[in-house]
Structure 1
Amino acid sequence: MKLSTLKIFIQRREIGYSRNWLLGALLICSAGMAGESGAQVPPAESRGTISRAEDEARTQVGLNFDWKFHLGEVRGAQDPQFDAAAWQVINVPHDWSVYGPFKEKVAQGMANGFRPRGIGWYRKTFISPTGGKRVFLDFEGVYTAADVWLNGTHLGKNYNGYLGFRFDITEQLKPAGGTNVLAVRADNTRVGSSRWYTGSGIYRNVNLLVVSPVHVPQYGVWITTPKIEDTRATVHIEAVVTNSSSAASDVTLVTEVRDPAGKQAAAENKIERVPAGGVCTFKQDLVVTQPQRWSTATPKLYKVVNRVTADSRLCDVVETTFGIRTIEFTPQQGLLVNGKKVTAKGVNFHHDLGCLGAAAFDRGFERRLELIKAMGCNAVRLAHNPYQPSLLDLCDRMGVLVIDEAYDKWNDQYTGPERPFAQAWPTDLRNFILRDRNHPSVFIWSVGNEEGQQMTAPDFGVFQFKAMAALVKSSDPTRAVTCGLFPARAKGVRYNAKPQALFEHSEPSEMAFAMDVVSCNYTQSFFERDHRKYPELIFLASEIGTNGGGDNWFEYDHAYTVGQFYWGGFDYIGESFGWPCKGWFRGLIDLAGVRKPASYYVESFYSEKPMVHIAVKDPQPGNNIVWNDVHLNWEFLASHWNWPAGQKMKVFTYSNGDTVELFLNGRSLGTQKMAAFKQMKMSWDIPFEPGTLKALAYRDGKVVAEHQLQTAGKACRLALESDRPALTADGLDLAHIAVKVVDQQGIRVPDATQKIHFVVTGAGTNAGVDNGNQNSSELWQADERSAYNGQALLVVRAQRQPGTIRIQATAEGLESAELKILAQ
């Protein structure tokens, strides 16, 4: 039934686990014993315990380190006796496609960033845990078509490279204390699996989970808050307990709710008889008084702790983080969070991390969230596939609303002909929903993007969308369901229809009337007319171009719409317009994480924090193209003050102040009122003069922000700056080192192109280099990189032993630079 108002009460997060340090060490340190993977591994991945008994009830152990890897097909590599001594030792997350040179003539090169694909083999050894437990092997993501063997037994094959998968390996394990051999073959040779860079291999985390026969299964806890008031909130908890033993058990579930400070807010016990080989769903309603609500401004998180006892023996302990908040969509106000109007100010992500490729490092995504939040964003669309669960954990903690999207196209794109879409989607979509439904950051589900069925008779995609939406609602009736619409209208009418009036006077897509919220890509110009004619529809700009730096924000009324998401927040690998460009360059932030001038224009209307930023129009011509029926233009802007003497420059001052005053070498060039610029693009025409160009932003006559550009002199030295002073010595943490070529005064030299050499020693390693230049064919995995716009990026990965990381950067003709970072 179509609802004009859909109220959604949302809170949640993925299940968390207590961990056992000793068992973790026993399980993962054995790599050297089998002679395959080198040095023994300390238990750095196994963090924290609740108590000894609880710790023994459930143990999650990371298997990220000391794998053996071979690129290319190998016969018999799944055999436990296979000799892999000559294979490369690697750690995951790992993306083999990001290594080596670019290939202009590679198959589907434009889509995949001219990167190689291929087949890769991985092997790892580990010791069996104590007997009497159930042991599961979890992969968060392998791209793609992953065959997995344990001790020579084929466990199965996973086709969807964006979804995690699990095997119960209890029966395949060697007896307690024995050495096991794990082998994985990933096949990324199928062309057409994606329209953007996918990466290849085991690119997300791998874990072992050891539990008692009586335990909470995967995705077994679901938390909702059906009633929220200022003084109290009802927390409804459904916890599934499975009994895989041969005897029935009297099971007690002790449930505790902890508030954001970690104090007990509510608790309840319940007892059920669970038959042998059976399951039981415990349902409990607990009341939390004076609830602290989750929002983008105050992302308060609660935690449910479930303790499972069978016949007076503690069997399992599971922690689930959630939030207390309401989400409501209305045609009149768009999005309400906790009853208050919120405009989703967002961007789209793709899943690569630049020079790291698709390797999914938590810190890499945390940095990206920090950058978009600094820009004023409060939302992100995870296009167009499931991301790693930890990214949603970050969004929960950082207060970022998420459009969680399961698919791009409704075809065999993600799974291939061996497991066709029609067969795969019900299982994959359900697992995706179950995995993510406890995250408070997820405010809406998306089941696809720009699907071709939308433009195909007889039903124009309505039947498939309704089937997918119904499945979503069966697993989570609390959230809205949508799908990103191709920029076409009813009956598939497109922008180039003849006569043009067919498009200009067209009706909304047929699928729009089946959606809880209508997600439109690049057709926000129709919002006003469609809203008048169909006042029951709720509109969201799921993709909006960065044309004009992002001035499409001013094209529609935000009073009744949910919000918007720029395509894209970051440049990304793939979807290139042709060699030598390696990917999409119209993002607001480049591959190296450097904010472009357009991002500050967006900040001026996304953010309430006072700001001003100077941008200079680059004289080089802009770039214009039609892509997927969308007219794209890109105006090149610069954030420097080095130009030919006397050249007349177009200067923009982006600000959310009411007045801006511009100074050149101390002389005021006048003031301008922002009210005079309908799209907040305040501009100035200035003959270039070397020195300092400074802007002051005012509110009510008071200076609230300033920004300046200075003319750089001759390149003199290198400068290094880390985004973090210290790292965690867990083998996974990252530091992003900004490298700049500067003059004697420390001003970045914008035309510097020197090749910079890096040496990283001590408790860290060089994880990748970049400079944001999509046209460069320099290697990402290298110890050198040329400066671009006078800067570059070095990413450092912490090792697992505490100590000091030493970074040295050198370039011919420049003073070198050194930096030390502590890993602890």
Structure 2
Amino acid sequence: MNKKTLVTIIFFLQIMICWNLNAAPVRQQINLNRGWLFTLGDVEEAEQTSFSDQSWEQVNLPHSFSLPYFMWKSVYNGYGWYRKTIEMPAAWKGKQVSVEFEGIFIQSEVFLNGQRVGEHTGGYTGFCYDLTPFLKPGKNILAVRVNNLWKADVAPRAGDHQFSGGIYRDVYLHITDPLHVAWCGTFITTPEVSKSSASFRAETEIRNDHARPQQFTIRTEIVSPKGKIVSKAETKETLEAGSSRIFTQYPASIIDPALWHPDSPNLYKAVTTIQQGNKVTDRKETVFGIRWFEWTADKGFFLNGEHFYLLGANVHQDHAGWGDAVTNAGFRRDIQMMKDCGFNTIRGSHYPHDPSFAQACDEIGILFFPENAFWGMGGGSGDRDGWGTPSSGCYPPNPEDQDRFDRSVLYQLKELIRINRNSPSITAWSMSNEPFFTDASTNERMKQLLNKATDSTHVWDPTRLVAIGGSQRKGVDKLGKNQIAFYNGDGAGFLNPGVPSMVSEYGSVTTHRPGTFEPGWADLKDGFNRPEWRGGQVIWCGFDHGTVGGTGLAIMGLVDYFRIPKRSWYWYREAYAKGNRNPVEPQWPESGIPAKIGLSADKTTIAAPDGTDDVHILISLLDASGKPVSNEIPVKLSVLSGPGEFPTGSSIQFMPPSEEETSDITIRDGKAAIEFRSYYAGTTIIEASAEGLPASTLTIRTLGQPTWESAGRPKVADRPYKRYIAPKKEEPVNELLLAVNRPSFVSSTAELSSRTLSNDGDDQTAWFADPSDKAAWWKLDLEASYDLNAIELVFPTVDIHQYVIEVSSDNQSWITVSNQRTSNKKEKKQRIDGDLGKNIRFVRISFISGNAGLSEVKVGGNPTNL
């Protein structure tokens, strides 16, 4: 055989090997969002294959029990069932088949063909089950029993958001070889990194579901943002049958890495290949970035060795109409909106977000603080249902619940980290939000749990620091080591705390759109107050959101629930994105004569009919010249032809808000918007109509399969919106707990005293004004709007106390609710009851006599619905 022939044979052998390795995907991911059957309520034997589900509603995922939902304070709490048929083809024989749920709120039981596959508790983290033992060729019935009932021993126990049930995130099937990379089983880190070089550590968890031990090769290739392989590692390993193990590799260091930064979000890939001889059993790609962070107590935050001031917003996960059941595209728009107005940071308030959220932060270039679901809500204590009323402390007071609650917090935290740990945008893991909102009897248990969480996080991810969210009370900011203190509310005014820190919540705008052209924090109006030691500042909050706390808490966003910016968003765009130290106010629409309807969308193509993509449709009222006007008239969107749906079905009606009966689906300031999605491919024509105006149309094209025509042109069921009225519960005793641990402000403080002692929940401690202060006052910020019905003052001594109690909604205009200027009665305690004001956020006590001091201020009331 001559040399030329040998070279030719080798060449063709190489081609054959490459063809064998790449002829078909060794790992398949199948989207399961389309074509489920659903019913509210708990149904006996609904997991059985013989069960008749013909009367159930046809739905698609992501889906919520509350669909359609428009920021109302109450939602259904109870059970719901989902069923879907899965066809097993012959090609799956000998494969491993698993199902991944990215999120079900809050407790789920999964069945296949009547057999229990698994149970998961925790509403914000994903999980994966092996279906292989339960599958059979042909038709299989996947059934999921879901409930969103409050549980005393499950985190979170309460919070300022909504708690709708459902399979509200994406669902996927994974088809792999029995020898494969485990779910979320890769972790790529850069132990040593600088601007000139970077080293790599690749941890890969491999699962062997064969009946015998397996020998194999693991190859990890590092691929640059330009698509070039820049480093690799290859090792030969053995794994016992029915087991999994983490294997560690160290691909060679590289020089001049392309660093990840919000201004240049460079992303690398680690391609993990498992091979047995010429057979590839699995190939998995992991996206990551090369960068490094540093937090200091005196100089703030550093990114890639350079000082970087964090400017950001808190972001909740729900959208108008769809509630928590948001597409990946919807999250991406949210992140882009925050970046477009000049923010470089998002805090994921206050629970783990969808995996696509972190992915979009990575790709768009915005730093991200994910947060675990460990929080409660001010204004309550004991074991109250925090979803029926916004009033449960963050930690259970009953000892029998406490160990299970600890496990709930830690388990969800571990899942959060495992799912998101490769994301370069994640700057630190936040353990909590305002954990000080808890009974005094649970303070030590709460702190012990935070210490367990931080210690565990350093084990699960030793590459990042840990943050304590809302740490401004009870010494929470000083827990542990290598931690960042997040200060909410009055934390913005703290002096240098001596630990790495940032303001994780400041200000709020608290208004329906359009609002006013201002930042929501007085400090920003007079300049950019950025102390050298502060790591950054994050506004409360980015978007309006649904909440059990009512409208007063819901409308604190820079952008409204329908994803139309308020005027405050434009302030930040001028000040931050454009760098204008004196922000210039744009010209706003004025009242005019509507002559036509502007109809537009962020894009006119939906990439796939599977619930991962959608379009954001915007309505604008225009005058005859095409200029926007601020008038508010009814406008209707309708699907004239083709596939697709609004949250309300094939049409949606926007109404002007009215004082008599507020419409939750509103047109305000001449604009309205909604998200539109399709579960079939094809062309959709949407019409906007209003009485007396010519109609406008918009064409949306959805790509992929199946087509609407091939499916028989199915009609979308109408889902008329109506507010959910929760069953009446026994009214709770007025606990006067709204003031506990809320921010307080004073005219002065005597030596060895503190303003926080006046609303710490302890009558035995007290704040005293400085003796020289002849016009002393104490002021409380409830941090949200309430309709007040009781105020109680407890004084340090029995004496004649002369004072005035005032309340305010805006910290500017004050209403007197009790005038004791001329009192001559000695008293230790004073309480007033009745209607003390609607939409109240601030309470002020001004002292007339010289003995100014307070042991405790107690406030009672209910969240405002504006």
TMscore range, shorter length: 0.7 to 0.9
1:350 maps onto 2:348 in alignment: no
Q: Distance in 1 between matches of 2:146 and 2:658?
A: 29
Q: Can you list the C-alpha shifts for 1:160-204, whole angstroms capped at 9, x where unaligned?
A: 111112211111111xx3211011111124388542212221101
Q: Distance in 2 between matches of 1:342 and 1:311?
A: 49
Q: Which residue of 2 aligns with 1:744?
A: 624
Provide the secondary structure at the position in 1 that maps to 2:337.
helix
Match of 1:190? 150
Q: 1:752 to 1:773 in 2, by over 3 A?
A: closer
Are residue 449 (structure 1) and residue 433 (structure 2) matched?
A: yes
**Post-superposition CA distance 1:203-246 (Å, at most 9, x none):** 01111112112111122211111112333211111112222212
Q: Does 1:814 align with 2:662?
A: no
The equivalent position to 1:591 in structure 2, one of 531, 543, 561, is 561
Structure 1 CA distance for aligned equivalents of residues 672 and 109 of structure 2: 38
Q: Take 1:399 and 1:571, find their aligned partners in 2: how far apart are those partners?
A: 23
Residues 514 and 227 of structure 1: CA distance in aligned 2, closer, same or farther (over 3 Å)? closer
SS at match of 2:353: coil
Match of 1:482 among 451, 464, 467: 467
Q: Secondary structure at the match of 1:237?
A: strand
* Equivalent in the alignment of 2:533: 560
Are residue 718 (structure 1) and residue 680 (structure 2) matched? no
Q: Is the 8 A contact 2:656 2:666 kept in 1?
A: no
Write the letter of the residue equivalent to 2:50: Q
C-alpha distance 800-246 of structure 1, shift in aligned 2 (>3 A): same
Q: Which amino acid aligns with 2:555?
A: F
2:488 counterpart letter in structure 1: N
The alignment status of 1:730 with 2:690, answered yes or no, reads: no
Residue 241 (structure 1) aligns with? 206
Distance 1:820 1:412, change over 3 A: farther
CA spacing shift, 1:770–1:555, aligned 2, 3 Å = farther
**What does residue 500 of structure 1 align with?**
none
1:490-534 CA distance string (max 9 Å, x none)? xx4xxxxxxxxxxxxxxx656456561111111334433x34xx3
- The CA RMSD over aligned residues, in Å, is 2.9
Corresponding residue number in structure 2 for 1:98: 67
Partner of 1:519: 486
CA offset digits 1:299-320 (Å, max 9, x no partner) = 0000000110135421111100
**Matched residue, 1:284:** 249
SS of 1:450's equivalent? coil
Q: Quick one: structure 1 residues 543 and 775, their matched pair in 2 at CA, closer, same or farther if it must change by over 3 Å?
A: farther
Q: 1:280 to 1:310 in 2, by over 3 A?
A: farther
Q: Which residue of 2 aligns with 1:466?
A: 451
Find the counterpart in structure 1 of residue 40 from structure 2.
71
Runs of at least 5 residues in structure 1 that lack an aligned partner in the other structure: 1-48, 103-109, 493-507, 611-655, 658-673, 675-679, 683-694, 696-706
Instruction: Report the Cα distance in structure 2 between the residues aligned to 1:420 and 1:136, rounded to whole angstroms.
Output: 28
CA contact (8 A) 1:345 1:564 kept: yes
The 3-state SS of whatever aligns with 1:472 is: helix
CA contact under 8 A between 2:31 and 2:610: conserved in structure 1?
Answer: no
For 1:476 and 1:451, the matched residues in 2 are separated by: 22
> In structure 2, do the counterparts of structure 1 residues 464 and 423 end up closer, same or farther at CA, with 3 Å as the change threshold?
closer
CA distances 1:604-639 after superposition (whole Å, capped 9, x unpaired): 3322x26xxxxxxxxxxxxxxxxxxxxxxxxxxxxx
CA deviation after TM superposition for structure 1 residue 53, in Å: 4.3
Higher mean Cα deviation, 378-387 or 236-245?
Answer: 236-245
Q: Say if 2:576 is the partner of 1:606.
A: yes
Residue 269 (structure 2) pairs with residue 299 (structure 1): no
Specify the alignment match of 2:279 in structure 1: 313
Match of 2:545 among 548, 558, 572: 572
* Partner secondary structure for residue 351 of structure 1: coil
Rounded to whole Å, the distance in 1 between the matches of 2:44 and 2:690 is: 45
User: How big is each residue's C-alpha offset from its partner over 1:686-744, in whole Å with a ceiling of 9 and x where there is no partner?
Assistant: xxxxxxxxx7xxxxxxxxxxx43464421212110111132213332211111122211
Corresponding residue for residue 633 of structure 2: 753
Q: Distance in 2 between matches of 1:460 and 1:527?
A: 26
Q: Residues of 2 paired with 1:355 and 1:772: CA distance? A: 14
Distance in 1, matches of 2:64 and 2:574, equals 37
Identity %: 29
Q: Distance in 1 between matches of 2:553 and 2:654?
A: 14
Q: Which residue of 1 aligns with 2:418?
A: 434
- Structure 2 counterpart of 1:157, from 119, 126, 131: 119
Q: Secondary structure at the match of 2:646?
A: strand
Distance 1:94 1:510, change over 3 A: closer
**What runs of 5+ residues in structure 2 fail to find an aligned partner?**
1-17, 376-393, 510-517, 704-866
Q: Distance in 1 between matches of 2:359 and 2:230?
A: 22
Amino acid aligned to 1:574: T
AA matched with 1:761 = S
Partners of 2:640 and 2:623 in 1: CA distance: 24
Q: Is the 8 A contact 1:757 1:811 kept in 2?
A: no
Distance in 1 (CA, whole Å) between partners of 2:431 and 2:245 is 30
Give the AA of the match of 2:565: R
Whole-Å separation in 2 of the counterparts to 1:396 and 1:54: 31
- Cα gap change, 1:150 to 1:69, in 2 (>3 Å): same
Deviations 1:758-814, CA, capped at 9 Å, x for gaps: 23531432245586989897887xxxx55322221132213332x322110111112
Change (3 A) 1:779 1:144: farther
Per-residue displacement from partner, 1:519-556 (whole Å, max 9, x unpaired)?
1111334433x34xx3xx11111111125632344585
Residue equivalent to 1:18: none
1:793 counterpart = 2:793: no
In the other structure, the counterpart of 1:140 is 102
1:435-459 deviation line (CA, Å, top 9, x unaligned): 1111101101111111137774764
More strand by share: 1
1:298-347 deviation line (CA, Å, top 9, x unaligned)? 00000000110135421111100000001111123211111111111110
Determine whether 1:225 maps to 2:209: no
Q: Does residue 257 in structure 1 map to residue 254 in structure 2? A: no
Deviation at 1:749, TM superposition (A): 2.5
Shift of 1:464: 2.1
Deviates further, 448-457 or 360-369: 448-457
Give the equivalent residue in structure 1 for 2:240. Answer: 275
**Does structure 1 residue 403 correspond to structure 2 residue 369?**
yes
AA aligned to 1:559 is E
Aligned to 2:355: 389
Question: Larger C-alpha radius of gyration, 1 or 2?
Answer: 2
Cα contact 2:85–2:141 (8 A) shared by 1: yes
Residues 191 and 199 in structure 2, CA contact (< 8 A), matched pair in contact too: yes
How far has the Cα of 1:472 moved from its partner? 0.4
Q: Rate the CA distance shift 1:514–1:282 in 2: closer, same or farther, 3 A.
A: closer
Hey, what's the Cα distance between the residues in 1 that align with 2:666 and 2:209?
Answer: 58
May I ask how many residue pairs the two structures share in their alignment?
Answer: 641
Closer/same/farther in 2, CA of residues 285 and 819 from structure 1, 3 Å limit: same
Report the Cα offset of residue 158 of structure 1: 1.4
- Structure 2 CA distance for partners of 1:487 and 1:455, relative to 1, 3 Å: farther
1:501 aligned residue: none
* Distance change >3 Å, CA 51–CA 381, structure 1 → 2: farther
Match of 1:82 in 2: 51
Question: How far apart, CA to CA, are the structure 2 residues paired with 1:74 and 1:447?
Answer: 37
Q: Which amino acid aligns with 1:571?
A: D
Aligned residues of 1:406 and 1:446 also touching (Cα < 8 A)? yes
State TM-score, norm by structure 1.
0.73
CA deviation after TM superposition for structure 1 residue 247, in Å = 1.9
The residue that corresponds to 1:503 in the other structure is none
In the superposition, the TM-score normalised over structure 2's length comes to: 0.70
Give distance in 2, aligned partners of 1:460 and 1:143: 26
Instruction: Return the offset for 1:258.
Output: 0.7
